[in-house]
Chain A
């Protein structure tokens, strides 16, 4: 989240898209409800009419996987309205804080679904040099603040989305034109400087072959509407687990090491090369370019990891840490493909249940059979732990040795939990874990102690990486000690640093994750603070727990003020520049506390401004462009490029086609169950609420198929089939897509073959393909057929 949960209550318009917030984040509706009772408009865009839609002022149905067409139409609407009615928009923000007026390289182009620089052989944009600014002799980007130069971003944006007219968008998405217009008008109304619009999204946005660009489309809209950095605004990812934000911050994803530093690769064989690669440069005096400080964070992290074994002379032990192969993919699908091939021989599966939660479930369950060993750490014997005795498997033919380590639940251990609003809250142990269960820290620490003793005794490849690591947690590890290590120390004085401003790249400081520097200081454990008093007028509650970075509750908050440092919206001030005393008041200012509003606000980008045009970074283009899902009933009406041209296709032979599988399938969660279900399907009170695997089918399709509510049906895809109870409903309306009636069926993915209540897993149907940038699987859009069982 750019903002935080409480801040949703400040919004005038709330767009929930790719999220069923009421069902999967019920607490969000504490704040949504407050905002609505102050007059806010709630918009829900979703293929299904859900418990979220039931509360919305406007519900717009959409065919799953066509978000960019929907949002591209909104971009077109807003751009044209800005030209017609600039008084309704924050033109100062657009001019000064985004790259709307910046000129793009003359070689940049877009033709029939492909941006300049595409290499068909590698299915990638090998040459992104044209996705850059024109620069003057000093290296500063050239600007046209009147937005009239045909090479300026505003004009390119206008040209790019000219194809996304209402009629075309409606034919692609299936959304009636009247609904499109209602949504566009309602959300564009948040563009006035004294109005705030927020976007809440979740996996319905990201789990597509264009998932990252779906989020980019939100960025473009929120920048056009001046909604980033302000109270009641922002782009807010509702994270699907209580601590998934913390997990991501501490390097859940293969591309990152803690604090979102890029994972060192074979392209950076020395520390010097790595540091060079993570130090962006700018010649623009108005750009703060915060990432220039990243070498301090990296060196301090190496000091935290290797202590006295990390010295200036040995590149701070950089050679001890593993490097990924440059350009290689280590995502979830890739790991299971490697397992299937036998490249990966052992797996630690920790609090995760891929046999239910992973895509293409049959393939992933089979891949587990190839392992020599599997360690499963969980509260229950999950489907993954029991894959060798799953229905249809013959345990006699499976050689995998499986270890099940019982783990403590959240109430049985102490530590921090970081929620969607980047808020790290310290929690205490309420009760002892049952039986032999231990907390994760205990398990990982004992595992590492044992592995280290083995390496010390027997040696092995890169043994020093293990034997020299700082690992002094003892028999009963103290989570506070870990939290302090993450916060960081001044190694000369032995004192905890106040925040990352104190970190150095000379080996004199240590820090386990720069983002969390400041969370556990000499003043105490900031995450344990529980002061319910709000000293702001906008519900910042700055002394309740602690959020990264440096307790800043709304990030990019420099964008909430004009060039004089006065809030665009005086009713909802986030920060304000006190010119006389040269300081900021309000929320913790975004970097450079003594520098006034002359600085560009988006300090994490080298150019300092919001990217309407994505300079350089994305794998699949500087503007979001609509492509169809891998499996789709429709052809792409916006170009002849059917699929995201940068998405990797893993198993082309498993692609289903609409002649055999005519309906759009999508997966989701319900309030009553959690993720792969072990936590909830084993609890009788929750099991009774949603006792069986079901599939939601619209009344029209059900009637055509002779299916009645409560009937047992079979849903099939090119990869598998599931048995489910039909829930026939008015809430899944058929949509007219390119002139043809298109039906969607929906399946919850919570069920599996273990636990108190059992059922087929929806992920037996889902495809093995992912987003071009992140490889998050396309769980939300695929093709199925439905028949009576």
Chain B
């Protein structure tokens, strides 16, 4: 079957955030208790209860204000670090290309949280034990809540009033996105770009941007961390074979958990 994808066209987005609400409604995720932190953006970050959120970025362009809106959610990579490192196969590729997630298989190791090049999966994890189940966008393929299998669009796409989100065969969306980018360049947006066509062997969430990916806070060359490659390619099989290596695993876990803690603290600092 042809691979599917979501196309997010930032030039059509009005940041109404109906996608955020529709996602919570369909997936039964609860509203978070939040504060106004001096911005329209909320909740402050993705979480186990918030799988998609819009980032609001203010800037100035030629003396006038500019306001860009960026979707932040799982990119459903073809070369997916999370799938590589997941020891229990809770994370896997769907035949249509998206990265599915089965929480009943999740051991709560949290490696996916740490290795994702887009910093997307989140777990309410205990940073000492490292345990706590992950949660992320499944492109509406979660067991029991599978809209795609039932022939529907993902909930976020269905609710989008302006057509900023669309869901279709990936090849068609690449063509559409390319045409949109060409049109934007013709209108004078020289840096307009289609993001996700080739990144990580192709994302299943494509972005039409009227500027460079960096201007929207997206990494120009996302890569799967080398340690993830090593983990999946060498260490993990050995680990399965030799239970004794669990000690190594624990040590590694400790390092990773520390790294996660530091990076979270750094992120919190940046927000301030």
User: Which A residues lie at the B interface, using CB under 8 A?
Assistant: 22-23, 26-27, 29-30, 33, 37, 49, 51-55, 59, 670-672, 683-692, 694, 708-711, 725-731, 733
In the bound complex, what is the Cα–Cα distance between A33 and B59 (angstroms)?
23
Beta-carbon contacts under 8 Å, B43-88 to A: 43, 58-60, 64-69
Decide if A672 touches B65 in the complex (CB within 8 Å): no
Which residue numbers of B lie inside 8 Å of A, CB to CB? Answer: 11-12, 14-18, 20-21, 24-25, 30-40, 42-43, 58-60, 64-69, 161-163, 183
Given A54-B66, A684-B30, A687-B31, are A671 and B36 also a contact pair (CB < 8 Å)?
Answer: no
Closest chain B CB from A685 CB (angstroms): 5
B16, B20, B58 — most chain A CB neighbours (10 Å) = B16
Docked pose: A463 CA to B110 CA in angstroms: 76
A-B contact pairs, 20 of them (CB 8 A): A22-B14, A26-B16, A26-B18, A27-B161, A29-B14, A49-B67, A51-B67, A54-B15, A54-B66, A55-B11, A55-B14, A672-B17, A683-B31, A684-B31, A688-B34, A688-B42, A709-B39, A710-B37, A726-B38, A727-B40
List the 6 closest pairs (A to B, CB-CB), nearest first.
Answer: A684-B31, A709-B38, A710-B38, A692-B36, A22-B14, A54-B67
Q: How far is the CA of A33 from the CA of B161 in the complex (A)?
A: 10
Contact A30 B31 (CB under 8 A): no
A726–B65 CA distance with the chains assembled, in angstroms: 18
- In the complex, the answer to whether A727 meets B68 with C-beta atoms within 8 Å is no
**Cα A672 to Cα B24 with chains together (Å):** 14
Q: Nearest residue in A to B68 (C-beta to C-beta)? A: A54
In Å, the complex CA distance between A690 and B15 comes to 13
Whether A59 and B36, one on each chain, are in contact in the complex, defined by CB atoms closer than 8 angstroms, is no
Whether the Cβ atoms of B15 and A51 lie closer than 8 Å is: yes
Q: Which residues of B contact A725 (CB under 8 A)?
A: 35-36, 38
List of B residues within 8 angstroms of A683 by Cβ: 31
- CB pair A727 B36 closer than 8 Å: yes
Closest to B69 in A: A54
Q: Which residue of B lies closest to A710 (CB)?
A: B38
Cα A691 to Cα B40 in complex, Å, equals: 10
| Extra pairs beyond A55-B11, A686-B21 (6, CB < 8 Å) | A23-B16, A671-B17, A685-B21, A689-B34, A691-B35, A725-B38
Q: Which of A22, A685, A729 contacts B16 (CB 8 A)?
A: A22
Q: Say yes or no: B35 contacts A49, CB within 8 Å.
A: no
Chain A residues within an 8 Å CB radius of B20: 685, 689
Q: Quick check: B38 and A53 within 8 Å, CB to CB?
A: no
Interface centre among B14, B30, B60, B69 (most CB of A within 10 A): B14
CA distance A228 to B23 in the complex (A): 41
Nearest CB of B to A38, in Å = 11
Q: Is the CB of A33 within 8 A of B12?
A: yes
The one of A26, A726, A730 that contacts B14, using a Cβ cutoff of 8 Å: A26
CA distance A726 to B31 in the complex (A): 23
A53 CB contacts on chain B under 8 angstroms: 65, 67
A26 CA / B20 CA spacing, docked (Å): 15
A30 to B25, CA, bound (A): 22
Give the docked Cα–Cα distance between A352 and B21 (Å): 25
Most chain-A CB neighbours within 10 Å: which of B38, B43, B68?
B38
- CB closest chain-B residue, reference A693: B36
Residues in B neighbouring A27, C-beta threshold 8 A: 161
Q: Once the chains are docked, how many angstroms separate the CA of A27 from the CA of B16?
A: 10
Please state if A694 and B60 are interface contacts (CB–CB under 8 Å). no
B65 touching A733, Cβ below 8 Å: yes
CA distance A37 to B12 in the complex (A): 10
Pairwise interchain contact A671-B65, C-beta atoms closer than 8 A: no
Q: A23-B14, A710-B38, A727-B40 are in contact. Are A688 and B162 (CB under 8 A)?
A: no
Query: Could you say which residues of chain A place their CB within 8 Å of the CB of B161?
Result: 26-27, 29-30
User: Shortest beta-carbon distance, B16 to chain A, in Å?
Assistant: 4
Q: Among the interface residues B39, B162, B163, which one has the most CB atoms of the partner chain A within 10 A? A: B162
Contact A690-B14, Cβ < 8 Å, known A54-B66, A730-B59: no
With a cutoff of 8 Å between Cβ atoms, the chain A residues found around residue B43 in the complex are 688
Chain A residues, CB < 8 A from B39: 709, 727
Q: Is the CB of A730 within 8 A of B60?
A: yes
A690 touches B65 (CB 8 A): no
CB–CB A688/B33 < 8 A: yes
Our pick among A37, A708, A731 for the contact of B67 (Cβ within 8 Å) is A731
A54-B14 contact, Cβ under 8 Å, with A30-B162, A33-B162, A49-B67:
yes
Residues of chain A contacted by B32 (CB below 8 angstroms)? 688
Minimum C-beta distance from B13 to chain A (A): 8
Task: Give A55 to B68 CA distance when docked, in angstroms.
Answer: 9
CA distance A22 to B14 in the complex (A): 6
A20 to chain B, nearest CB (A): 10
Q: Which residues of B contact A55 (CB under 8 A)?
A: 11, 14
* Chain A: minimal CB distance from B65 (Å): 4
Residue of A52, A53, A689 with most partner-chain B CB within 10 A: A689
A684: nearest residue on chain B (CB-CB)? B31
CA distance A207 to B66 in the complex (A): 27
Residues of chain A lying within 8 A (CB to CB) of residue B18: 26
Decide: A730 and B36 in contact? CB cutoff 8 A. Answer: no
| B43, closest chain A residue (CB) | A688
Beta-carbon contact of A691 and B36 below 8 Å:
yes
Complex Cα–Cα for A657 and B183 (A): 51
Residue contact A731 to B34, C-beta cutoff 8 Å: no
What is the distance, in angstroms, from B143's C-beta to the closest C-beta of chain A?
A: 23
User: Which one of A49, A54, A672, A687 has the highest number of Cβ atoms from chain B below 10 Å of its Cβ?
Assistant: A54
A22 to B20, CA, bound (A): 17
Instruction: Give Cα distance in the complex from A736 to B14, angstroms.
Output: 29
Instruction: Point out which of B18, B30, B31, B60 has the most chain A C-beta atoms below 10 A from its C-beta.
Output: B31
CA distance A686 to B69 in the complex (A): 18
- In the complex, what residues of B have CB within 8 A of residue A691's CB? 33-36, 42
Instruction: Point out the residues of chain B lying under 8 angstroms from A672, CB to CB.
Output: 17
In Å, the complex CA distance between A683 and B30 comes to 10
Q: From residue B7, how far is it (CB to closest CB) to chain A in Å?
A: 14
A23 to B18, CA, bound (A): 11
In the complex, which residues of chain B have a beta carbon less than 8 angstroms from the beta carbon of A51?
A: 14-16, 67, 69
Cα-based distance from A23 to B69 in the complex (angstroms): 13
A153–B60 alpha-carbon span in the complex (Å): 44
Give the residues in chain A near B36, CB-CB below 8 Å: 690-692, 694, 710, 725, 727
Chain B min CB distance to A670 (Å): 8
User: How far in angstroms is the closest Cβ of chain A from B104?
Assistant: 25
List B contacts of A690 (CB < 8 A). Answer: 36, 40, 42
Tell me, rounded to whole Å, the shortest Cβ–Cβ distance linking A9 to chain B: 12
Instruction: Name B54's closest neighbour in chain A (CB-CB).
Output: A689
- Chain B's closest residue to A729 (CB) is B58
Min Cβ gap B22→A in Å is 9
The distance in angstroms between the C-alpha atoms of A686 and B25, with both chains bound, is 11
